[in-house]
Amino acid sequence: MSFKVGLDDGHGVNTAGKRTVALKEDIMFNGKLRKKGTIIHENEFNKVIMRKVEPHLKRCGVRYIELAPTDSDTPLSTRANVANKNKCDLVVSIHANALAGTKWQTGAYGLVVIKTKGCQSKTNKLADIMYKHLKTVDFPSNGETKYGVRVDTEISGFTLAILRQTKMPAVLVELGFMDNWNDVKVMCTDKFQNECAEAIAKAVCEYANIKYIEEKKEENKPSTSDSNVVYRAIAGSYSNKSNADKIVKELKEKGYNAFVAIYDK
């Protein structure tokens, strides 16, 4: 049986309070323009990171399940139950932080890994490995150890169900502060999101003793939005016209505007 990870994208999309400050300028987030004055929900951010972690795990042969695949605010204890029922080998809960006027985080910055009070020793190991990788992410003030690995009771005053009720090692990562505009600007970039996702996947692999397979980066890849070129999807080349007609018929049945083009050999 291969290693299985439970991925949690923390909160529902409309969970109260969990969101950025009103954006101070128009900003691109996940390929879409978000207008100045609007907000981005924490869950939207968490989900983008989670979905970016998944292909890395897949490539490395690590199985995963999403503990709360819908957009609704699934209680943390329900998420923990899903992980337990599915016998995950570890759980990563992905979040973004907010100061929300609380005292403990005054001057907080960087990326935080949270474990539950009195956690099993395997969780200590997982948390340390997770932070080791997250520390390498290019982020303002990252690398400061002040908020590196923390215990949930120090952060929130109570233990967190997703960490306490999961039977397997579990950590929660806070990837920047949504109510800090300087953080938000970085958190919205693909570069930051990609680096976080890669760091999480690398940590999982290291913990599980699985070789991390680097992503193949295509060099000089043509831009996907170059207005001077068109991209044609080709379904096949045939020396017999009736075979080409058959494919076109199939594609047309599926709703594609397909046609046969003739090329000299």
> For residue 205, what is the DSSP state?
H
φ and ψ at 212, to 5 degrees?
Answer: -80, 125
Does residue 56 contact residue 162 with C-beta atoms inside 8 Å? no
| CB-nearer residue toward Zn ion: 95 or 115 | 95
| CB-nearer residue toward Zn ion: 97 or 142 | 97
* Distance of closest approach, residue 239 Cβ to Zn ion, in angstroms: 59
* Distance of closest approach, residue 8 Cβ to Zn ion, in angstroms: 10
C-alpha–C-alpha distance, residues 60 and 54, integer Å: 10
| CB-nearer residue toward Zn ion: 88 or 112 | 112
C-alpha–C-alpha distance, residues 216 and 133, integer Å: 20
* Distance of closest approach, residue 84 Cβ to Zn ion, in angstroms: 21
| CB-nearer residue toward Zn ion: 10 or 12 | 10
φ and ψ at 104, to 5 degrees?
Answer: -60, -30
The pair of structure tokens assigned to 159 is: 């233990």
* Distance of closest approach, residue 156 Cβ to Zn ion, in angstroms: 10
Does residue 162 contact residue 76 with C-beta atoms inside 8 Å? yes
State the residues that interact with Zn ion by CB under 5 A: 10, 95
Beta bridge partners of 5: 64, 90
C-alpha–C-alpha distance, residues 7 and 201, integer Å: 11
φ and ψ at 4, to 5 degrees?
Answer: -125, 130
| CB-nearer residue toward Zn ion: 187 or 205 | 187
| CB-nearer residue toward Zn ion: 4 or 11 | 11
Q: How many CA atoms lie within 13 A of 82 on its CB side?
A: 20
Element (DSSP H or E) covering residue 184: helix 181-187
* Distance of closest approach, residue 166 Cβ to Zn ion, in angstroms: 16
Nearest position to Zn ion, beta carbon: 95
Task: Provide the pairing of β-strand 4-8 with 90-97.
Answer: parallel
* Distance of closest approach, residue 43 Cβ to Zn ion, in angstroms: 8
Alpha-helical runs (H) found in 60-157: 76-85, 121-134, 152-156
The length of the chain, given as a count of residues:
265
| CB-nearer residue toward Zn ion: 14 or 237 | 14
* Distance of closest approach, residue 12 Cβ to Zn ion, in angstroms: 11
